[in-house]
Structure 1
Amino acid sequence: MSGLCGWLGAGRRRAGLGAPAGAPTLRLLRMARELHRFDGAPLQTLLAAGGALAVAAHAGSAHLYSRDGLLVALWGRPLLAGIGVGGDVAAAVAQRWQERGLEVCAALSGPFALCLLDSVNSQALLAVDRAGSQPLYYQCGDGDLLFASSLSGLQAHPQARRELDPQSLYNYLYFHTVPGPATVRQDCRRLLPGEYLHVRRGTARRGRYWQIDFDEAPARPFAPQRAEFLGLLEAAVRRAAGGHAVGAFLSGGTDSSTLAGMLGRVGGAPARSYSIGFDVPGYDEMAYARLAARHFGTLHHEHYVTADEVVAAVPRIAAVFDQPFGNASAVPAFYCAQMARADGVHRLLGGDGGDELFGGNERYARQAVLARYERLPAALRQALLEPLLFRLLTGERPALLRKARRYIEQAVMSMPARLESYNLLQGYGPRLLLEREFLAQVDAGAPLAQLAEAYSRSDGLSQINRMLALDLRFTLADNDLPKVNKACELAGVEVGYPMLDDALVAFAARLAPGQKLHGTRLRPFFKQALREFLPAAILRKKKHGFGLPVGHWLQRHGGLRGLAFDSLSDLKARRIVRADFIDTLLERQLPQHPGYHGTMVWVLMMLEQWFVQREAANQPPEEAHDELEIRQG
């Protein structure tokens, strides 16, 4: 993945008078090594009195400036108003900072992570792009600031806090990832999309320089709107492709198929596309990927992931993630990226963000159906339907009545709690799943409160836009983007997200709610706009993605079953998950419903594997001998 790291002020007191002259450089080197441990990106550093930073990035993604104690580093492909592509964006950021201060954040666009250290005035500025595609972690304390694009990079500094945060471990079991701004380490935080951190003379202030601004005005005329959309989409793909040997993930869905087709258009030659399949009924969608590849004439590559490959990948996936991560589709994403890398591709384009901008997730339609119940007269709901289904009709009930009761049970829940009605942790029950001592250290209601707080920020908007805003924050920034970023980092490939291009995001925010969800019809504008571009079968298909047949293989593949069972057995000793729950899960529940309970087996297996990999990584490191380009500020 590469990235940046460094500090302001950290290490001055602890270094002491007897500290080796090269101690700051060695500390920086150890932090920076974590950034390029998997992809081998070139390293550069900048040093100044009381401050230091390093960037690990391939050509075109590292931007540095150093003068008179002011250090600036950007990682990614940032754009700054008035600075053309190829211009010295880091120098321009330094000048804009000196002229306008924090306004420089809003002037930046594109994918980036920014660090600015002003050691003369004891100031620092950290910021990440509007989608949060380039992560940035930090720790503040005692007037010092540590930061890095990876949590392991931050942890390589001797002043970093290493204590685990029980609440974040609980949140992992709830979300299957650790949602920001918290991290799995106490006192280490992560910037959310569109956020900055300003540190001045030891005082830190976190703020938001951008948030999506939905316009719910009536729909504009379709023809000019379609023309604008197609132009923005083509420009976004061109920017994301850059000058690299580039290819595209191709699942056969609307987003990945659109990008594969656009990549061929902007490149003037057949695009290279890469697809993953599974030789398991109900999980393989290679037919749609092949349809898109034929339609656009791509140079298509396929790979069928096996259970043996999953077993081989699990420790590597756990090692590359800074925090526990339970989304099993990271495995096929890795093998897809690895296939592209072997084909000479250095950058892949992913369709992530399309669902969250244009209304493509099935739950949007499901929630629209549930919301209809609220529009019934209150007297009908409270005096007739609910008493009938909840009090009068007891005992054995016909299937239709059971379904009606379940519908009302969900419909009467408030948003966003209704979205979590199928949450695994809630379904099992925290008291049955977790050790009493561990549960006493956490707030079991915190995850839902975090969702509710974020949902409340979009109060007054239509339900579809409120759900989109929530998914941009949690589903995308906390789950999907880290998944693809880390999978590609492990394979040694860069990744770009054209759907998250700032101009395209702004366009999507101006679409009327009915253009994203019409009744229960998903993304109507997107599909109508691309009706002459995409094959009709792809426009009609339901969303699937890179879902892994975990439950199927846990039942039938001895290697994966053994890895999972051994991992969960070892997890018992950590006193987080109850031993009797693990026994029941493996011995009784998994055989009864492999597809459902297999998800929790995977989540717990990846938690234990993350512990194992972190313990191995925390062994005393060998002395570093990397060659760095050192520049004094």
Structure 2
Amino acid sequence: MCGLTGFLDPAGTSEQAAYHAIGRMTSAITHRGPDSEGHWAEEGAGLVLGHRRLSILDLSPAGHQPMHSACGRYVIAFNGEIYNHLDVRCEVRGARREEVRWRGHSDTETLLAAFTAWGVEETLKRCVGMFAIALWDRQKRTLTLARDRFGEKPLYYGFAQGLGSAQGHSNEDGSVTGRGPLLFGSELKSLMAHPEWQGTLANEALEDYLRFGCVGGEASIFQGVAKLPPGSLVTITQADVQAGRLPAPVHWWSAEQAAREAMAEQPLDSPQTAITAVEEALGDSVRNRMLADVPLGAFLSGGVDSSLIVALMQSQAERPVRTFSVGFDDARYDESSHAEAVARHLGTEHLTLQATSRMALDLVPSLPDLYDEPFADSSQLPTALVSKLTRKHVTVALSGDAGDELFGGYNRHLWVPRIWHKIRRLPLPARRALAATLKTIPAHRYDTLMRHGGRLLPKRLRMRTFGEKLHKLAAVLESSSERALFAGVASMNREPDTLLAGQGSGKPPEALFPALAKFDSVEWMLLMDTLHYMVDDVLVKVDRASMASSLEVRVPFLDPEVFHAAWRIPSALHLKEGQGKWVLRQLLFRHVPRELIERPKMGFAIPLDAWLRGPLRDWAEELLSTASLAELPMLDAGVVRRLWQAHLKGQGHHAQQLWAVLQLLAWQRRWG
């Protein structure tokens, strides 16, 4: 696991200036690779590669990067892990007539030999792993950027002076336009460190950011800079850079296509067959991800996904697996006792990392540095905290991320189809009229009614957030389609345009997610969550939070064979008996008693409402001041301030919307 960066400047620059620039760019991402630093330049081509190394496999100098292929044609800067690289080595040896003389046992060297034997795209298809790659072809004088199937590792690219960004912004064909050198890197901060950087805020990205709490898709927060999509590559020439227009990426792997191919096979519709198939695929994936030359452990929350990963690790390990959970001083958000019970049963060497609210609060000012772009999933705080504490003990940790997206673990997977089946019977005009009636009373007024009238109700019917739930019901009733209903429940803020001073895009919610033929509603939701929420939120959160502490996190669920097995299982089996992740649960119960697992899903949450009214109030007040809001005139300062005052008075539940605005303002102050 490492960090890469570099630039391609056909206009040329002096050797001294080039190495000064790449030194700044690699220094900006030292946290991704604190063990060593490497630079390389192609004389006369304007191409410079930089690399920061976190040594995981082959700790010797033979793993140093940028690395040259044995034939001398290719030079690579590589971030990630190729879990099947020993198998790939054997295949390369069989494909070549002459003896392959390996210098070390790193997966980077394996990649270079495979590129020489088969070419780039065929090599990527044969590799299983998480990666971002910058590959210079000295023969063709082309730069190829590539990213892994699921987008576990980030890769940004664009111009020092951007004019138009990727698909979803000004260039509908997915190309990128701008002026100056082409810059690329694992994090935006490495691009921003280049001496010619002149970043311009991409206003078009703000509406979707405020809706989902992250900058999604191929767009970035800057004009002329894009994120390479998962499972894709782009090959760039010097002429492309000189023309100021980069080609659109092409996909070497597609989650949608892979799902369709799996669904076309014999379905795993027998419960035992499905459970066994997942056990074999996930067990192999876990085994492959336990390969490391440094200390390794696992996150353990006590939930289904992390408990299953740890159970499969322990079943294959010769000694107790090291597991880590985080315990908070607020009992409402502390799952550490559940994790400890699972660890005792499995016999792991468990450590509960005791955290305090103060420790989490102290991280807040550093969030813009961790994420480079505005990012407002508040579980970023506990994720960063557990990563920081875990890194004191191990260098690699396995996690249970992606189980929800592949196997149907979110509540919306269960109830969106149910609710839509019921409300669609009522004509849309009638539903909208009812919704308008419900919204005539502010949410906090409903809460007041519940506080007084709720005393007459049984305790189980008393709802602290009664008004918020009624307003959510109103939004559900207004949905024009099942896709629109899903878009609403998947959003952090259903009406982001209300926070903007100008007009929003006017796109209906369902336009944010494409309609796909031959997928039922549950299958469609699983795929949308995989392509969007997982890539844009979950994986970004985990990568930045962990790498900020130089911790490598591996995700066994994100393996092509696990994905294939999941998509051979009918949706009815994923959500069997009114429970999500039914197959994963049954597999886990082979290792852990049911009573240790079956409890309401808590999530990785923090008391954001209370913190914004309490210990974070001064920080928030300063960011929401008139002068601060004036720095982002595209925000409607009046609306934002009224929302803040309502929150302080307890009139409604606006913490998530405010957190998105606050993270945007904090980012603007740091990077704008």
Instruction: Say yes or no: does 1:550 pair with 2:618.
Output: no
C-alpha change, 1:250 and 1:391, in structure 2 (3 Å) is closer
* Cα deviation code 1:282-320 (max 9, x no counterpart): 323233222212221222222444332233101222212
Give the partner amino acid of 1:209.
Answer: W
Secondary structure of the 2:204 match is helix
Give yes or no for contact 1:116–1:126 (8 Å, CA) kept in 2.
yes
1:561 maps to which residue?
617
Following superposition, the deviation at residue 89 of structure 1 comes to 4.7
Q: Which moved more, 1:89-98 or 1:212-221?
A: 89-98
Taking the aligned partners of 2:304 and 2:311, their CA distance within structure 1 comes to 11
C-alpha change, 1:430 and 1:163, in structure 2 (3 Å) is same
1:360 maps to which residue?
409
Secondary structure of the 1:445 match is coil
Q: Which moved more, 1:540-549 or 1:214-223?
A: 214-223
Taking the aligned partners of 1:561 and 1:516, their CA distance within structure 2 comes to 43
Q: Percent identity between the aligned chains?
A: 25
Following superposition, the deviation at residue 144 of structure 1 comes to 5.6
1:13 maps to which residue?
11
Taking the aligned partners of 2:142 and 2:398, their CA distance within structure 1 comes to 36
Taking the aligned partners of 2:158 and 2:429, their CA distance within structure 1 comes to 56
Following superposition, the deviation at residue 133 of structure 1 comes to 0.5
2:399 maps to which residue?
350
Following superposition, the deviation at residue 97 of structure 1 comes to 5.2
2:534 maps to which residue?
476
* Cα deviation code 1:183-221 (max 9, x no counterpart): 011110001211111224534241111112223454344
1:541 maps to which residue?
599
Instruction: Say yes or no: does 1:72 pair with 2:79.
Output: no
* Cα deviation code 1:566-620 (max 9, x no counterpart): 22225312123333223322222343257x31222322222222223326xxxxx
Instruction: Say yes or no: does 1:430 pair with 2:480.
Output: no
Give yes or no for contact 2:304–2:588 (8 Å, CA) kept in 1.
no
Following superposition, the deviation at residue 267 of structure 1 comes to 2.6
Query: Scaled by the length of structure 1, what TM-score is found?
Result: 0.84
Give the partner amino acid of 1:234.
Answer: G
Query: Scaled by the length of structure 2, what TM-score is found?
Result: 0.80
Q: How does 1:88-237 map to 2 (within 5 A)?
A: 89-90=108-109, 92-93=111-112, 95-96=114-115, 99-139=118-158, 141=178, 145-200=182-237, 202-203=239-240, 204-212=247-255, 213-214=258-259, 215-216=262-263, 218-237=267-286
1:246 maps to which residue?
296
Taking the aligned partners of 2:108 and 2:208, their CA distance within structure 1 comes to 38
1:621 maps to which residue?
none
Taking the aligned partners of 2:229 and 2:320, their CA distance within structure 1 comes to 37
1:45 maps to which residue?
39
Give yes or no for contact 1:219–1:515 (8 Å, CA) kept in 2.
no
Q: How does 1:431-470 map to 2 (within 5 A)?
A: 431=498, 433-435=499-501, 439=502, 443=505, 445=507, 448=509, 451-452=512-513, 455-456=514-515, 458-470=516-528
Give yes or no for contact 2:73–2:137 (8 Å, CA) kept in 1.
yes
C-alpha change, 1:445 and 1:97, in structure 2 (3 Å) is farther
C-alpha change, 1:26 and 1:509, in structure 2 (3 Å) is same
Give yes or no for contact 1:65–1:91 (8 Å, CA) kept in 2.
no
* Structure 2 counterpart of 1:309, from 344, 359, 384: 359
Using CA pairs below 8 Å that are at least 6 residues apart, which structure has the higher relative contact order? 1
Secondary structure of the 2:233 match is strand
Secondary structure of the 2:5 match is strand
Give the partner amino acid of 2:527.
Answer: A
* Cα deviation code 1:75-108 (max 9, x no counterpart): 2112456325946654554553574453333232
1:631 maps to which residue?
none
Give yes or no for contact 2:434–2:474 (8 Å, CA) kept in 1.
no
C-alpha change, 1:143 and 1:390, in structure 2 (3 Å) is closer
Taking the aligned partners of 1:121 and 1:41, their CA distance within structure 2 comes to 32
Give yes or no for contact 2:439–2:471 (8 Å, CA) kept in 1.
no
* Structure 2 counterpart of 1:264, from 294, 306, 314: 314
Following superposition, the deviation at residue 258 of structure 1 comes to 1.3
Taking the aligned partners of 1:271 and 1:7, their CA distance within structure 2 comes to 42
Following superposition, the deviation at residue 150 of structure 1 comes to 0.8
Following superposition, the deviation at residue 165 of structure 1 comes to 0.8
C-alpha change, 1:293 and 1:56, in structure 2 (3 Å) is same
Taking the aligned partners of 2:511 and 2:587, their CA distance within structure 1 comes to 36
2:163 maps to which residue?
none
C-alpha change, 1:465 and 1:161, in structure 2 (3 Å) is farther
Secondary structure of the 1:52 match is strand
Unpaired stretches in structure 2, ≥5 consecutive residues: 58-62, 91-103, 160-177, 241-246, 451-460, 462-469
2:649 maps to which residue?
591
State the aligned residue count: 591
Following superposition, the deviation at residue 359 of structure 1 comes to 0.7
Q: Which moved more, 1:569-578 or 1:85-94?
A: 85-94
Taking the aligned partners of 2:334 and 2:282, their CA distance within structure 1 comes to 28
Give the partner amino acid of 1:369.
Answer: R
Q: How does 1:56-71 map to 2 (within 5 A)?
A: 56-60=52-56, 64-66=67-69, 68=72, 70-71=74-75
Q: Which moved more, 1:93-102 or 1:227-236?
A: 93-102
Give the partner amino acid of 2:512.
Answer: L
1:627 maps to which residue?
none
Give yes or no for contact 1:370–1:411 (8 Å, CA) kept in 2.
no
Give yes or no for contact 2:412–2:486 (8 Å, CA) kept in 1.
no
C-alpha change, 1:98 and 1:297, in structure 2 (3 Å) is closer
Give yes or no for contact 2:135–2:144 (8 Å, CA) kept in 1.
yes
Following superposition, the deviation at residue 407 of structure 1 comes to 8.6
| Alignment RMSD (CA, Å) | 3.4
Give the partner amino acid of 1:53.
Answer: L
* Cα deviation code 1:404-463 (max 9, x no counterpart): 984971564340454315745434x624x223xxx25x63538x47622xx33x322111
Taking the aligned partners of 1:200 and 1:38, their CA distance within structure 2 comes to 28
Secondary structure of the 1:277 match is strand
Taking the aligned partners of 1:386 and 1:65, their CA distance within structure 2 comes to 64
1:492 maps to which residue?
550
